A = this chain, B = another copy of it.
Amino acid sequence: MRALTYDGKTATVSDVPKPELAQDSALVRVTVAGVCNTDRELVKGYMSFRGILGHEFVGVVEEGPEEWRGERVVGEINFACESCPICYEGLQRHCPSRRVMGILEADGSFAEYVNVPIANLHTVPPSVSDDIAVFAEPLAAAYEVLEQVHVMPNQECVVLGDGKLGLLVAQVLRQAGAQVLVVGHHEKNLEILARRDIQTVQEQHWNPGLYSLVVDATGSIGGLRMALAATRPRGTVVLKSTTATKAKLDLSTLVVNEIRVVGSRCGPFPPALRALETGSIDVSSLITHRTSLANCDEALRRAGDAGQLKVLVDAQ
Task: Point out residues on A near B: beta carbons under 8 Å.
Answer: 86, 91, 94, 144, 148, 221, 224, 232-234, 239-242, 244-265
User: Please, which residue of chain B has its CB at the minimum distance from the CB of A244?
Assistant: B251
Please give, as numbers and ranges, the residues of chain B lying within 8 Å of A250 by CB-CB distance.
Answer: 245-246
CA distance A219 to B233 in the complex (A): 21
CA distance A105 to B95 in the complex (A): 50
| A258 touches which of B94, B221, B234, B256 (Cβ 8 Å) | B94
CB distance from A280 to the nearest CB of B (A): 25
CB <8 Å contact, A255 and B240? yes
CB distance from A94 to the nearest CB of B (A): 3
CA distance A233 to B265 in the complex (A): 11
| Secondary structure type dominating chain A contacts | mixed
CB <8 Å contact, B245 and A251? yes
CB <8 Å contact, A248 and B248? yes
CB <8 Å contact, B258 and A260? no
Apart from A259-B262, A261-B261, A261-B262, list 12 A-B contacts with CB within 8 A. Answer: A148-B258, A221-B251, A224-B251, A245-B250, A246-B250, A247-B249, A248-B249, A254-B261, A255-B265, A258-B263, A260-B261, A260-B263
CA distance A256 to B103 in the complex (A): 12
A91-B234, A233-B86, A233-B91 known; A255-B264 Cβ under 8 A? yes
Please give, as numbers and ranges, the residues of chain B lying within 8 Å of A144 by CB-CB distance.
Answer: 258
A sample of 16 cross-chain residue pairs with beta-carbon separation below 8 angstroms, ordered by A number, consists of A91-B233, A94-B258, A144-B258, A224-B251, A240-B255, A244-B251, A244-B255, A246-B251, A247-B248, A247-B251, A254-B261, A258-B265, A259-B262, A259-B263, A260-B260, A260-B262
CB <8 Å contact, A251 and B233? no
Please give, as numbers and ranges, the residues of chain B lying within 8 Å of A86 by CB-CB distance.
Answer: 232-233
CA distance A246 to B312 in the complex (A): 41
CB <8 Å contact, B261 and A252? no
4 nearest A-B pairs in the assembled complex, by CB-CB distance: A94-B233, A255-B263, A254-B263, A261-B261
Please give, as numbers and ranges, the residues of chain B lying within 8 Å of A247 by CB-CB distance.
Answer: 248-249, 251
